[in-house]
Amino acid sequence: MDVKITDLSLTYGDFTAVEHLSLHIEDGESLVLLGQSGCGKTSTMRCVAGLEDPSGGSISIGGTTVFDAAAGTNVAPNRRNVGLVFQSYAVWPHMTVLENVSFPLRMKRRPKKEIRTRAQETLELVGLGHLADKGASKLSGGQMQRVALARSLAMEPNVMLLDEPLSNLDARLRDDLRVELRRLQLELGLTSIYVTHDQSEALALADRIAIMQHGRISQLATPVETYRNPASASIAEFLGVANIFRTCAPRAGEHRLRLADHALEIAVGTAVPAGDDLSVCVRPEHVRLATQPGAGAPNSWPGTVEVSVFQGSYARCTVALDAGPSLEVHTQDATFVPRQHDRVHVEIDPAHVQVLPQEVGPVVGDGVRDDAAPAEPGVDDDHGRRVVAHAATMSGEG
């Protein structure tokens, strides 16, 4: 069922965890709340679950209002039929696996026989059919995670909430379970809200990603869109864009920008938007290394490799440009592994240079930005999100 959050606020004393947040999650959609710890993503999710008392706004699930501050509505969490997989799993150690999974069905007072078959079926679904009678405290982390998932699935929830469910697992298991979670979510058509601080998890699991900063949503878009066009430099930094440099205030319409802290000019693919606080952002994998200076290339600078680490499919190195700044580089070609102190030339295609404001205001509704941004030559994309610099989308990837 769809979830509609309207103007939600949550405060603890003086601290505002969630601030005027609005969000609509479609039926069957997987929405990921992505952000750093303390950004309010878990609080938002717990409001939907009914475990927090918001100070304002309303929440409805499948058209039924479960919370409305103005009307004084607050449906108890056990009456919302919302599944929640906790970060700590919260699998009850004093019960067996089957008892854990049967619990929601017992609460719904289903017949005994049905409880047993349904619980067993759900366990099969997550691949734990053989462990039904095992004590829950004897399970491994990955197994507990599956029990927690099965327990919530067994209740056939209107919405499934997942609070960093994979963060306590080791990297390999996390990758496997990520794929499995996505398969289950699509297969069962679950409406789900998934909270994480891991960008690759978000990209893998989401239909849409809502990036949260300071209790607000600062970008709401599909994973592909989010990855290609972060709305601000701080979002870009969070998404792994390692090379971010502040620029001097440019003149609108120019195609070159001067860095604020270094004597370096960088050519960009599109006309530069107006604004004071702009940064240029370049993903490490978009920086090329060459042994010779590129003839006539617009962004080509000499530099020295400071450190180089071989990562298997690529090499990761830091190059100190003669002109000052250091660049983070991921080489695409695993056969070329630079060594420390090597002299190299660094090239950046202007189409890969994004020019972004440092911060952006919150989006409200479905992707509409709230702040009154100055008029600028940026283009509004189809989601109503103002695209500040179009460089990446025009680079032939889209």
Q: How far is the CB of 110 from another protein (least distance, A)?
A: 11
Phi and psi torsions of 264, nearest 5°: -150, 140
- What CA dihedral angle connects 127, 152, 16 and 222, to 10 degrees? 60
Asked whether position 367 contacts another protein by CB under 8 A, the answer is yes
Q: How far is the CB of 94 from another protein (least distance, A)?
A: 5
Query: Which DSSP string do the residues of 293-335 spell out, in sequence order?
Result: PPTT-SSEEEEEEEEEEE-SSSEEEEEEETTS-EEEEEES-TT
Half-sphere exposure of 297 (CA within 13 A, CB side): 19
Residue 52 or 349 having the CB closest to another protein: 52
Distance CA 73, CA 291 (A): 67
Asked whether position 43 contacts another protein by CB under 8 A, the answer is no
Q: Which residues contact 377 (CB under 8 A, 6 or more apart)?
A: 252, 253, 271, 273, 274
Selected from 63, 94, 187, 189, the binder of another protein by CB under 8 A is 94
What is the size of the binding site for another protein (CB under 8 A)? 53
Distance CA 367, CA 369 (A): 6
Which two tokens mark 312? 């298997």
Q: How far is the CB of 373 from another protein (least distance, A)?
A: 15
Asked whether position 209 contacts another protein by CB under 8 A, the answer is no
Residue 137 or 311 having the CB closest to another protein: 137
Which two tokens mark 395? 């680079």
Selected from 19, 92, 167, 265, the binder of another protein by CB under 8 A is 92
Residue 89 or 238 having the CB closest to another protein: 89
Among the residue ranges 150-158, 238-246, 289-297, 303-311, the one whose residues contact another protein (CB under 8 A): 150-158
Q: How far is the CB of 235 from another protein (least distance, A)?
A: 20
Residue 24 or 262 having the CB closest to another protein: 24
Q: Which residues contact 5 (CB under 8 A, 6 or more apart)?
A: 21, 22, 23, 24, 25, 44, 47, 48, 57, 58, 59
Distance CA 24, CA 75 (A): 19
Strand partners, 326: 320
Selected from 134, 228, 256, 383, the binder of another protein by CB under 8 A is 383
Q: How far is the CB of 272 from another protein (least distance, A)?
A: 26
Q: Which of 139, 111, 109, 107 is nearest to 123 (CA)?
A: 139
Q: Kindly write out the interface string for residues 54-83 of this chain, putting x where it contacts another protein by CB under 8 A and - elsewhere.
A: -xxx-----------xx-x---xxx--xxx
Among the residue ranges 126-134, 166-174, 289-297, 366-374, the one whose residues contact another protein (CB under 8 A): 366-374
Asked whether position 104 contacts another protein by CB under 8 A, the answer is yes
Q: How far is the CB of 210 from another protein (least distance, A)?
A: 13
Which two tokens mark 224? 């592909």
How many H helices and E strands in the chain?
Answer: 8, 25
Residue 181 or 344 having the CB closest to another protein: 181
Asked whether position 200 contacts another protein by CB under 8 A, the answer is no
Among the residue ranges 52-60, 308-316, 323-331, 349-357, the one whose residues contact another protein (CB under 8 A): 52-60
Q: How far is the CB of 366 from another protein (least distance, A)?
A: 6
Distance CA 196, CA 70 (A): 30
Selected from 41, 118, 146, 208, the binder of another protein by CB under 8 A is 208
Residue 35, Cβ density class (10 Å: 0-12 exposed, 13-18 middle, ≥19 buried): buried
Looking only at residues 214 through 253 of this chain, which bind another protein when binding is defined by CB under 8 A? 222
Crossing angle for the helix pair 97-107 and 112-125, nearest 10 degrees?
130
Distance CA 51, CA 145 (A): 21
Selected from 17, 22, 181, 196, the binder of another protein by CB under 8 A is 22
Residue 173, Cβ density class (10 Å: 0-12 exposed, 13-18 middle, ≥19 buried): middle
Q: How far is the CB of 238 from another protein (least distance, A)?
A: 23
Binding site for another protein (CB under 8 A): 6-7, 9, 11, 20, 22, 24, 26, 29, 49, 51, 53, 55-57, 69-70, 72, 76-78, 81-84, 86-90, 92-94, 103-104, 107-108, 148, 151-152, 155, 207-208, 222, 364-368, 370, 382-384
